[in-house]
Structure 1
Amino acid sequence: MKNILILGGTGFVGAHVCEKLVREGWRVTVLTRRRSNAQHLLPLPSTTVLEVDVHDEAALTRALTGQDAVVNLVAILHGTQESFDKAHVALPQKLARACVAVGIEQVVHISALGADALQPQSAPSMYLRSKGQGEAVLMQAAIGAGADHGKHAGFELTILRPSVIFGADDKFINLFAKLQKIFPVMPLAGADARFQPVWVEDVATAVVRSLARVGASDAKTPRIIEVCGPDVFTLKELVQLSAQLSGVCEGLGRPVIALPRWLGQIQAAMMELAPGQPLMSRDNLDSMQIDNVATGKLPGLSSLGITPSALRPIAQDYLEQNQPSYGLTGIRLRSHH
């Protein structure tokens, strides 16, 4: 049984990754700032939860000792330049040094579609620029660049670049459905931005197959895989689809009003002022200046033997479950009419 360390394992994608790894026979260790964040992972067999600050390099190095592989899922969608750099650049730097120090064999890093390790500064947003820089750091470490690390030089590296990820617990399709139940109209910034949504289960399978080196021709060459679903949607189409599948206005949804970019920037700036995580930030809008779809220049899920799942039937299933008309309650409601 191999040992694997998961960074960011308590989140939406992380829970699915942990479950699949346990099923594949891995012994999983999840690092988290607060053990209370990992309550949903505790019932999993052969899973250990450790309270560790992953940004503490000494603590991270200690946690890596005795592990065979690492999956890094740590990411933020909103923040300042400083917070993006901390999560997406400084952490991969610390992780790379720690992996080399203790002789980790494999690293799987979850990045983002639109990131560019070769020209990170060419990306339109702080988010994507920092993601590209993080990729570059890990790629240099993987090939043992810039230092004599002796027998521990480098590690096998797979970088996965997903489009937007959907699933039963997502904060994407579910969010649009909820908003349409509240607001009479949907003013939408970035309405024409294009996405290629990918199912969380396919992303988790991609992590497992990457660790098994499925489709890898040369173990020592870092590889980048674009993780996308089979269909491309505009943001407006995704909002309309969420309404249709969740039965808002009998499936018709609310009117969606596409905002010009300048007005979208104002809307996003206002959202940033609200307490908690903003629904959309100006940096999110900057990211949407480039299409969030596969370039076709890199391997996709098929290189891992995965046929990507379509959004519509899966989203329909979990959005219908949130409706009053679903299940036994729905049967009772209908019986009274």
Structure 2
Amino acid sequence: MTLSIASKKSPLKTLALLGLSCTLVAGALTSTASAQEWKPSKPVEFIAPANPGGGWDTLVRTSANVISQEGLSDQNFAAINIPGGGGAVAWAQVARDNRNDHKLFATSPPIILVPLAGTSRFNHNDFQPIARLSTDYAIVLVRADSPYQTVTELFDAIKANQRLSVGGGSAAGSMDHIAIAGAAGEYGVNPGSVNYIAFSGGGEAMTTLLGGHVEAVISGAGEAVGLLEGGQLRALAVSSEERIPGSLSSVPTFKEQGVDYTFDIWRGVMGPKDMPEAAVRYYEDLFERMMETDSWKDAVARLGWLDAHQNSEDFGRFLDGQLEQFSSVLSDMGMLR
């Protein structure tokens, strides 16, 4: 005999099951509606984990301005600078506030590199990916009166004098250090011999360069546009595959100068790890809409960035891939902790 579990049901049991089904459907619809209806109820803290003037700061202020200009949010996105530790000070603060749905921060390769180098106990898995926004490139800068006319002349000088210093706005073993050491290594300079000086953001690094305290600086290309246009600095090389159109089109690539090297600086937005799902979806949608505006497209063109949008889920997978890639790079440099 074969018994069917779905044989005969009493009318009362059928009504009960129907009632349960309706309750579950209603609950799902309510949950979806609440996710769609969530929006900030007060100003959003938008953190740049460095001093003003660097890549994180530029991303935060540019995004906040576009959101305001385009009326994309009823609330203000307040740019806040929290420098220190190549990002580690800001990350510690965000991690302590792990359920805050009114706090975001700009991110880029240091969220992977700094923990790998052992200078932060928080890594990308301690935060919630929101969206990847753009790709920038590394650029090597010198003062307008510098004797170095090409990046190979700079590398030859580093070979001859290992005390010659190159500044950057990220911690030792982090993004700027990796970028200049990798390029120098491709040219034939021992990457470990590059005298890299870390500053609390690209703005401080360029101020120090203008003051004559370092011979060169490596930073994100977008950070340098203003000073290059003002004639205070000169660019020796950019790490893109081809020249960057627009205001940086006169800057030669490393490849043009015989150094087979490229380096991408992606930038995006993250939040506290336990941010409610409804808030994640709101911000994810907000930044996607922001990137479709003419204001954002104009800013990207001016800064020499490229759009590189990824939603929250795709950005999370990308970060995991970056961890694997940068672990190998730091191991080669003898800096993996």
Q: Is TM more than 0.5 here?
A: no
Structure with a larger share of its residues in strand: 2
Q: Which has the higher contact order (CA 8 A, sep 6+)?
A: 2
Compare CA radii of gyration and give the structure with the larger one: 2
| TM-score, length basis structure 1 | 0.30
